[in-house]
Each structure stands twice: as structure tokens, then as C-alpha cells.
Structure 1
Amino acid sequence: MQKNEQRISLAVSTVIFALRPIPESGQSALWIPLVRRTREPFARQWALPGGWAGNDESLTDAAARNLLATTALEPAYLEQLYAFGDVERSVSSRVVSIIYWALVRQEEAERATENENVRWFAADNLPELAFDHNVIIDYALWRLRTKMEYSRIARAFLGETFTLSELRLVHEAVLQRQLDPANFRRQIENSGSLVPTDYVVSGGRHRPPRLYRYDEGVELVDNGPLGHKKTGSTRVID
């Protein structure tokens, strides 16, 4: 290696989104888990969960392994987001980070590890993070909200069946704005992505709402020419 050449390290980090209630209001909002760094640089500061990619594993496997080790999460939706590799993003060496993002349902998030060094934060109210992780999360938020407008990605936050009101609340929580219920119903029904079931939610005072499910023949997003793979129990869309 010549003197002017610099070794490049490859890391993998993941932005994990879950819808959880805001304690003060009870309204749902996007939350993400962060881990506290235990060594320099940025010792004791919060950062995205991640680690180095092994020589004998795929990037997706590295992302899933690091998530499981730090947060005990095994998200069903895991997608490669972007590569961050500015020369000065790490103070000690040249590091290129492959960023993934994951979506988990609230009940999955509640089973995640949470302690002094792993904590959930409201995605729109973060502290100053290590490295360029604030920039990374801003980009992931923009990407999620953009996809929410045209794709079927909301299904990753829901159970197998759900009402149209529950689906609308997911959209409102992610997009941070209220949606007209009638217009939302019309747009969703015209999209052809939902299949009505024969079941309704009983026990209310009004007409029981029908339960829907997503058409399993329709992918969450356009996978492009590479298609999609599955690694273990994690659905991967590259």
C-alpha cells in the first residue's frame, strides 16, 4: 500500500422505525432505538445501532446480526437505504457506512432491549448524535414519508388485518398531518391494494368497521430488476 493510500473500513448501521405513543399526549409518533457508545470517538453519545461488516457475510446479514445483538430486534422489513462515505465523517479513519432501515410494529418494539445503553427516542426530537447520524436519520425520515405517499409500506406497521381508520392513523402519525377520512378511504379503495375480509370489529356503539388486509400479491415497493431475497425470517428489499 502506498503512503498516500488510506484503508477504508466498511460498517453497517440501521435506522429502526416504530410507531409508539407520545407519553404527554398519547398520540402515535415515530420512534427509533439508539445505542450509547462505550468508547471513543464520541464516547457516551447516542448513535445508531450497527457495527462492522464481516468478511464472510452479506451486508444484509451484517445489518440483521448487529440489530439482534444490540436491540434484540428481528424486523420483518429491512431495506438498504443509502451509503454514507464522506472523507471526514469519522475522526479516526475513513469509514463507509451502508445504512439500512427497518420498520417494526409497536408490539415488536415493546419486546426490544431497553436499558442504560439502549433507549427509544422520538424521531423528530433527537439529541446531538455521534458521527453524522443526525443527517442519516433525517434522510431516512424523508425517505419513509416520501414512500408513505405512494407505496404500500404502511403495512409494515400493522397486523395481518386492520380497519381503514387504523391505516389512516398510521399515515397521519408518519406524515405528521391529519387526513380527511372520506378522501383517504376513497384513495385507498381505488388503489386496489386492499382486500376486504369477511370480519368486522364488534363491540362498538356504531356500525362495526370492516377489517381489511393487504393484497399479498402486491409487493411493498417496486423491487426493480434485482427482485427480492429472504434472509432467515427477515424480508429484504434491496
Structure 2
Amino acid sequence: MDFVPLGLATDLVILTVRDAALQVLLIRRGIAPYRGRWALPGGFVRENEDLEETARRELTEETGLATDRIHLEQIATYGAPRRDPRGRVVSVAYLALVPDLPTPVAGTDAESARWVPAPDLLADPARLAFDHHQILTEAVERARAKLEYSPLAAAFCPPEFTISELRTIYEAVWGTPLDPRNFHRKVTKTPGFVEPTATTTTRDGGRPAQLFRRGPATTLHPPMTRA
């Protein structure tokens, strides 16, 4: 035989910022293998499906989330020989970093579904089934990089926001505190990133803070480096 029979699957890393923390959508498996363990949503590709169609179907079936406004980005393929105890399974992983996602509702072979702080999972590889810790680790790094060269973080803010509120999003995704003055300088000097509204607010507490809105830029030059 010139080839080894294998299964083809998709896994999804759906990230958002909730309660000022980067959180990932997980399901608790209701079937073997790893029954009762937390895992990323996903499943096997059906005969007449393409990969992204499978990913979107599994996300809706297992978590109840509608996928019409979720942009999925293919990040990597995972095919280690023993990554799945059921046999040789290759999985294509997708990433989405999306604001304002609702509470999930478990379905199909998931016992439950919920948002879980990503840093807790990254610090404990044993909490996730299969090789999902590796997938999550690499997906979070991709998401962190996206905030360096795109204005995506502003989508997590209100239509009019302070630089402090924007900094909170960066700190949640990057997992590190940022110097307020340096961050303010970098954001306001990056062409097209944010635009002043000529109004202020005291909702951050203390002195009135200037309000901004998202600018027209689709990429950031220079990028918002984490260093």
C-alpha cells in the first residue's frame, strides 16, 4: 500500500476579550476519547464538505455560535502520528479573534461549552485533550502578532474610546502590562490608527481623557511592537 488511511478534521481557536482577559472558547467532550476533558471545538470533515465548511458547521453544532460574522483564518496543519488515539488523524486549525461574542450553548457531542481564560490554559498543558495545548499556543501567538500590524484591537473598544481602554485590549491579548505614556505616543503617532473626536470623558476616573475613534488604516506602519 502506497498510502496510510487517515481521518481529516478541523479544530478552531476562537478568541475574544471578556472581563479584560483574553479568553478562548472550549467544549467539554461528551464522548471518548478524552471524555470529560476540555478541548477546542472541531470535528471530522464530511465527504462533500470543504475544510472551512466543516469548521463552521462544527462551531455552530458544538457551541451554538453563528459564524456569519466570524472571519476564520487557517493557521496550521497538525499531523503527528499519535496525536489522536483513534488512529491517524490530520487536523487543519483555524483562528478567529472576534469581539462581542455571546455565551456558548453546548450541542452534539459536547457536554458543555464556555469561555476560559487563555493564560490559565497556556500555563497548564494537561488541561486540554489531544494536542490542543500546542494548537492554542501557536494560535495565541498568531493573534498577538495580528495586533502588532493591524488595527484589530480597536474593534474591541466602544465606537468612541480612550487610549487607556485601547491599551487594556493590548494588555489582555499580549498578556503583559504596557507603559501608558509610551503606548499613548505610539498609538497617536501611527498614521490612520485612531482619530481624535474633540470630546473627553471621565469614565476612566481621574482627569478628563480624550476620546478617539478608529481611523481608516487597515495596516499599521510602523507596527505596534511588543518590545
TM range (shorter): 0.7 to 0.9
- Equivalent-residue separation in structure 2 for 1:188 and 1:102 (angstroms): 24
Superposed, which structure 2 residues align to 1:1-238 within 5 Å?
2=1, 5-21=3-19, 28-73=20-65, 74=67, 75-105=69-99, 107-109=100-102, 111-113=103-105, 117-126=112-121, 128-196=127-195, 198=197, 200-202=199-201, 204=203, 206-215=207-216, 218=218
User: 174-183 or 132-141, which moves further after superposition?
Assistant: 174-183
Give TM-score, length-normalised by structure 2.
0.80
Contact 1:34 1:49 (8 Å CA) reproduced? yes
Structure 1 runs (4+) greater than 6 angstroms displaced: none
What is the letter of the counterpart of residue 11 of structure 1? A
User: 81-90 or 174-183, which moves further after superposition?
Assistant: 174-183
Give TM-score, length-normalised by structure 1.
0.76
- Cα deviation code 1:30-86 (max 9, x no counterpart): 111211222222122111101122333332222222112222223533211111111
- Equivalent-residue separation in structure 2 for 1:36 and 1:165 (angstroms): 35
Contact 1:103 1:156 (8 Å CA) reproduced? no
Structure 1 residue runs without a partner (length 5+): 22-27, 221-238
- Equivalent-residue separation in structure 2 for 1:177 and 1:197 (angstroms): 26
Structure 2 residue runs without a partner (length 5+): 221-227
Percent identity between matched residues is 36
Report how many residues are paired: 209
- Aligned-residue CA RMSD (Å): 2.5
What is the letter of the counterpart of residue 134 of structure 2? V
Contact 1:14 1:50 (8 Å CA) reproduced? yes
Superposition deviation, residue 158 in structure 1: 3.3
